[in-house]
Amino acid sequence: MENTAAPEARVYTRRKGDGKLVSLSGAKEMTRPCWDRMKAEDDEKDSLKPLMKKKALMKMYFGLFADEVEENFLLLDWMTQIRLGDEHASESRLLKQAEAAKTDVPETMESDYEAYTASTFRDDWMAVWSRKFGCFEDTTKLRPMRFTDKPAPSYGAFPMSALQVFSVRVEGIRRGLQWPLDVFGIIAVRDTVDLNRNIIFSRTRDNCQTLTKEDRNLALVGPSRAVVWQDHLYIEVKLTVKGPTESEDKDLSFLVVPFACGNAAYSYHKYSYRTSKLSTVRLSLGPIVDSVEATIFVRVSDGSWPDGFRAQFAAFTTGIRRKIAPSIDHKKIILLDSGSRKVPFNAGGIELSRRVVSVETTGKLRVCIKAWKIVESAKNAVKDELFFTPQEAGRSSGLLDAGFCKMEVTVAWSLITCD
């Protein structure tokens, strides 16, 4: 064990830059009690480094809740000590984490920084929010159409900014991956309403989506309710490429995208590119200001859907144009694309993959259909469209005519709540 006692004849001072105690001839001699006190201060700072690092990471991800983060973190450490029955349990745990970090973390950060931050995000979320919001994997318990048929409260529910996710695309692949790819996994958004997952994309290993070089867009299934654009939000991406066996699966993309929302003055569209070890993912999204929630339903009201016909249902939203920002008017939101498969039906009508969109109160909602025979090109498709004026509550309906049948489109409107 290294002798830390200060010889009487030695002289010590703090070195500039790192603040370490060093011996310098000619400097004022330091007494043993003074040296011991300074050494104790250095030891205390070193022991706190893992704690401060953990708190700094939490504040980086949950910065707008900095006070609550610190309060929850201290509570977590206190609970750990009680649970283990050891007043030094927290310190011991942090020191072990720090030792592991010396070898594990730099390699992980260097090989795939996005995956490292995503893993850290999960740990920090569990430490801060699990007592209030449950498991990390829990999905939002709030449903759409909350105020379609009942009065909204006078506070907390009104037209507000919401995030619109238009599409998600695997823009590029690397490190030997080849098209086509069988992809499964999850993409979810967390807003400040309940901090649980609002699912955007979800596929299991036995129900992969095949991505080709020509068609790299993921088939989105959400959100399940409007995503509130307030304070901040996070988009989680965890996509895996299916291999011949589970042990040969590869992480295509594992990342967390934070957004500081702020107060958007107008609706706009943007692309966000995120590169990880094996791929680059492109998120097409943007805030829709002063918006209401629209939940879309489609059913065949006249005639029947013939075998051999495929279809694509899509929605567009418009808003006040701003020359300084990319317009949302022509950004397609695919509600259902049957591709080469049959159009799915359930008891309520056509089973749309996604049905919730946000619409600016000063704009319009456009719902379109494109239907074609499987043996013919989609260029020869039958097309029709409907326009809806946004409302704060109630329902709107109209008819789409595909020639061989007519379909009733119903839109349920609701104000958005921030709590």
Alpha-carbon span 112 to 278, nearest angstrom: 9
Alpha-carbon span 259 to 276, nearest angstrom: 18
Alpha-carbon span 96 to 77, nearest angstrom: 15
CA-CA-CA-CA torsion sign (22, 27, 29, 34): negative
Residue-wise pLDDT tens digits, 132-151 = 999 999 999 999 999 999 99
Shortest CA distance to 288 belongs to which of 272, 268, 271? 268
Residue-wise pLDDT tens digits, 328-349 = 999 999 999 998 889 999 888 9
Domain ranges of the chain: 12-115, 157-417
Alpha-carbon span 188 to 208, nearest angstrom: 17
Q: Flag whether pLDDT at 253 surpasses 90.
A: yes
Average pLDDT value for the chain = 81
Pairing of strands 157-158, 416-417: antiparallel
Alpha-carbon span 405 to 384, nearest angstrom: 12
Alpha-carbon span 304 to 194, nearest angstrom: 41
* Weakest mean pLDDT among 4-8, 74-78, 166-170, 294-298: 74-78
Q: Which pLDDT score is estimated for 68?
A: 41
Considering only residues 63 and 358, tell me which one the structure prediction assigns the higher pLDDT: 358
Count of Cβ atoms closer than 10 Å to residue 339 Cβ: 13
Helix (H) or strand (E) holding 48: helix 32-61
Pairing of strands 333-337, 232-241: unpaired
Instruction: Name the token pair of 146.
Output: 């909350």
Count of Cβ atoms closer than 10 Å to residue 20 Cβ: 11
Q: Residues 354-387, buried b or exposed e (16+ Cβ, 10 A)?
A: bbbbbbbeebebbbbbbbbeeeeeeeebbebebe
Three-class secondary structure of residue 151 per DSSP = coil
Rg of the chain over all Cα atoms, to the nearest angstrom: 28
Q: Which pLDDT score is estimated for 32?
A: 55
Q: Which pLDDT score is estimated for 71?
A: 41
Mean pLDDT of 381-401: 96
Mean pLDDT of 373-380: 79
Q: Flag whether pLDDT at 153 surpasses 80.
A: yes
Residue-wise pLDDT tens digits, 360-372 = 999 999 999 999 9
**Which of the four pLDDT bands, split at 50, 70 and 90, describes residue 243?**
very high
Count of Cβ atoms closer than 10 Å to residue 71 Cβ: 12
Q: What is the pTM of this model?
A: 0.75
Q: Flag whether pLDDT at 157 surpasses 70.
A: yes
% of the chain exceeding 90 in pLDDT: 59
Three-class secondary structure of residue 226 per DSSP = coil
Count of Cβ atoms closer than 10 Å to residue 12 Cβ: 21
- Angstrom distances, CA of residue 23 to CA of 6, 10, 165: 10, 7, 61
User: Contact at 8 Å (CB) between 162 and 416?
Assistant: yes
As beta bridge partners, residue 241 has 183, 250
**Which of the four pLDDT bands, split at 50, 70 and 90, describes residue 201?**
very high
Pairing of strands 198-203, 181-190: antiparallel
- Angstrom distances, CA of residue 61 to CA of 75, 193, 260: 18, 16, 10
Q: Which pLDDT score is estimated for 35?
A: 56
Count of Cβ atoms closer than 10 Å to residue 232 Cβ: 18
- Angstrom distances, CA of residue 254 to CA of 118, 159, 238: 7, 33, 4
Q: Nearest 5 degrees, angle CA 43-CA 44-CA 46? A: 65
What is the length of the chain?
419
Alpha-carbon span 377 to 384, nearest angstrom: 17
Three-class secondary structure of residue 34 per DSSP = helix
Alpha-carbon span 23 to 27, nearest angstrom: 9
**Which of the four pLDDT bands, split at 50, 70 and 90, describes residue 28?**
very low
